[in-house]
Chains A and B, each alone.
Chain A
Amino acid sequence: MSAPLLDIQGLNIAMRLARGGRLPIVNDLSLTLQAGDTVGIVGESGSGKSLLSLAVMGLLPPAAVVSGRILFEGRDLLSLDDDGMSEIRGRRIGMIFQEPMTALNPAMTVGDQIAEGLVRHEKLSWNAARDRAVELLDRVRIPDPKARASAYPHQMSGGQRQRVGIAIAVAMRPALMIADEPTTALDVTVQAEVLEILDDLCQRESMALMLISHDLGVIARMCARTLVLYAGRRMEEGATRAVLTGPLNPYTKGLLRAVPRRRADDGPLETIPGSVPGFARLPAGCVFSDRCLDVVAACQAGEPAWTSPLPGRGVRCIRAGEEVSA
C-alpha cells in the first residue's frame, strides 16, 4: 500500500488565552486520507472542525498551539515555514470557503483571479492563463464562461461565486481539496448543482476531498467516509453509510434522531438535551456524558479511549462494545 496522501496523527490544538493559560480545543485527532478519498467531517459549532481544516492549511491563528503530526505527501506540514506552506497551499491543497464573497477580490475580474494562481505557480503567460480560466469556468458549469470571465464578483449570484471559488481551488489540480461548509449559504437547488460539480471534479481528477459540514445529508451525498467530531474529539469514524445507518456512538445516534422529520404520531421531535458545552467547561470523563442518554457512572470516570470494535470503524465510547454485540 502506498503512503497515504494526508496522515494526521495525534493532533492537538490549544488556544493561548489572553489572560494566560491554554484552552485545549482539538484533542488526539488522527485521520488518514488516500488519494481520491472523500471524507466528511461532521460537527456542530464548537466541535473544532474548522480549526482542523485551518491546521491542515497552515492557517491557524497565531494564538493556536499545535502538537502532533500532519503528514501531507510525506512532509510534515507543522514543521514547514511560511514559504514552504504557501508552496503547498493552493498548489497541492485547495480550499473552498463557506462565503466565497469574502475569499474573492472584489476589484478583480473572476477570470483574472483564477488566472492569477496559474501565472504565479505554473508560470503560464497571462494570455494562456486567462484561456485556462475560461475552461475552468466552463468546467464548473458557468454559462457563457468567456463573457463571465470578465465579470466582477459582485455581478454574480452566490451560487456562481461559489463556482468561481471552486474554479480557483481546482485550477492548480490540487491533490487534496478542503471544503469548509461550501454550500451552507446556498439554496438547495444551487447546492445540489455545486455538490455535483465538486463530485465530478473529485472523480475525474482523483482529487481527495475533506468536506466539513454540519449537514449530515450533504455528507451522505458526497463522502465515502465520515468522521464525527464533538467538543474537539473524534467520536466516531467509518464508512458513511455504515455510520449513518448503524451509529455506534450515542452522539451520532442523537444527531441522526434530531434530523427534523415528520412524526407519524405528531409527537415531539427527538432532541439531544442541553447544548454544546464551551471548551472551558467540558464535563469530566467523556465530553458527551452530560447530554448522553446512555450514560453510566463509568462514563464520568475518564475519557474513553478510541477503539475499533468493527473493521473499518472507530468509536470513542465505553459502551460501543455492547452496541456491537447487540
Chain B
Amino acid sequence: MKTPLIDIRRLTRDYAGGGLFAKPSLTRALDDLTMTVEAGTIHGIVGESGCGKSTLARILMALDKPTSGDVLFDGEPLFQLSPKDLMRKRRDFQMVFQDPFGSLDPRQRVARIVAEPLHVLEVKPSRQEKRDRVMALLEAVGLTAAQADRFPHEFSGGQRQRIAIARALITEPKLVVADEAVSALDLSVQAQVLNLITRLKRERGVTFLFITHNLAVVDAVADQVGVMYRGRLVESGPARAVFERPLHPYTQVLAEAEPSVTKFGRPPRAEPKTSQPLKAEPGQGCAFLPRCRLASPRCASEVPALRSVLPGRQAACHHAETMLAEEP
C-alpha cells in the first residue's frame, strides 16, 4: 500500500487562555486527531466554528506546533525536521485563505505576490524565470499575463482568489490547504473557482485539503470528507457516501440544517429530545451528547473512538450501527 501524502497521528493542540488577571484555562482545539490524506485527492474537512479546522490548517502549514502527536508529510515527520529541512519542505505545502481581501498585500503588485513563495527555494530562479512562471500560472488560473503588474484592489473577489491560488501553486506543491477558500465569493463566481480547483487536481495532481463549513461545496468537489466536532474527527469516508448516508448524528444535523434551493418553507420540526437531557462530565463521554438525538447512558461515560463501521467509512459514535439500520 502506498504511503498517504499526509498521515496525521494523534494530533492534539491546547491553547493556554486566561492571563494576568483571568484564571488560566486550557482550550483543546484539536483532540487526538488521526487521519490520512491520499495524494491526488480533494479531501474535505467540514465543521462549524470552533471545531478546530483552522488550527488543523495552521499545523499542517507548520505555522503552529502541536501539543502532542505528529504529522507525517510524505513519510517524514514534520515536527521533527531541522529548521533547514522544514524550510525545504515548505515548497511542498501552500495555503489559500478565506478572505480574498485580506490575503493579498495591498501594496504589492500581483507578480510580486504570486512569486512570494519562491523564497523557500534553495536555488532562487532568475528574474526572467520567475516572471515566466508567474505568467504561466496566471494564465493557468484564468487571468492574463497583462494583469501581473496591477495591484490587488483592481480585482474582484473571484479574481483575487485566483491570484491567491496562483501564489499557492508557484512552488509546485504537493498539498494546497484551502481554508474556506470560496466562502466569501459570489455564487456565480464560486463555481468557477471550484472548477479551477478540480481541474488543478486532475491536471497537475495537486492534493487539496478543502476546509469549509459548507456541505454543498464539499459534496460538489471532494473525494473524501472528514467531519469535525469540538476538535475531534467524528466521521470520515468517501464524500458521496457520507452525505448520502451519515453514520454520525452530527453529520446528519449539519446536513439537515443546511438551507437548499429545493427545501421550501419551514422544515419539519425535529422530534423533541428525551425529557432528561444527559450530561457528560467534562473530559468524559461524547462531546456531542447534549445535542444528540441518540444519546444513551453509555455516551455519557465512554468517549466514542473513531472506528470502522463500513469498508472505508469511519465514525466516532456508539450508535453508528443504529444510524446505519435507520431508513435513509
Chain A interface residues toward B at CB < 8 A: 44-45, 158, 187-192, 195-196, 199, 214-218, 220-221, 240-241, 244, 254-256, 258-263, 268-272, 275-276, 291
Contacts and interface: CB of A to CB of B under 8 A. Distances in A.
Contacts of A158: 49
Interface in B239-291: 239-240, 243, 253-254, 256-267
B147 interface: no
Nearest to B253: A189
Nearest to A259: B261
Name which of A188, A189, A256, A271 has the most chain B CB atoms within 10 A of its CB: A188
Contacts of B263: 217, 220-221
Given A188-B257, A271-B195, A291-B188, 16 more contacts: A44-B186, A45-B186, A187-B48, A187-B49, A189-B254, A189-B257, A192-B267, A217-B258, A220-B263, A244-B261, A260-B191, A260-B214, A268-B195, A268-B199, A270-B191, A271-B192
16 contacts: A44-B186, A188-B215, A192-B256, A216-B261, A217-B260, A220-B263, A220-B265, A244-B264, A254-B188, A258-B187, A259-B187, A260-B219, A261-B216, A269-B194, A275-B158, A276-B188
A45 B160 CA distance: 15
Contact of A260 (B159, B217, B256, B264): B217
Contacts of A199: 266
Nearest to A158: B49
A195 B266 CA distance: 9
Interface residues of B, number: 42
A109 B156 CA distance: 39
A268 B214 CA distance: 18
Contacts of B254: 188-189
A275 B48 CA distance: 29
B40 interface: no
Contacts of A269: 191, 194-195, 220
A260 B190 contact: yes
A77 to B, nearest CB: 29
Contact of B259 (A217, A261, A271): A217
B189 interface: yes
Contacts of A271: 188, 191-192, 195
A233 to B, nearest CB: 16
Contact of A220 (B157, B195, B217, B259): B259
Contacts of A216: 187, 261
A158 to B, nearest CB: 7
B41 interface: no
A39 to B, nearest CB: 15
Interface string B34-52: 0000000000000011000
Contacts of A44: 186-189
B198 interface: yes
Interface string B204-222: 0000000001111101110
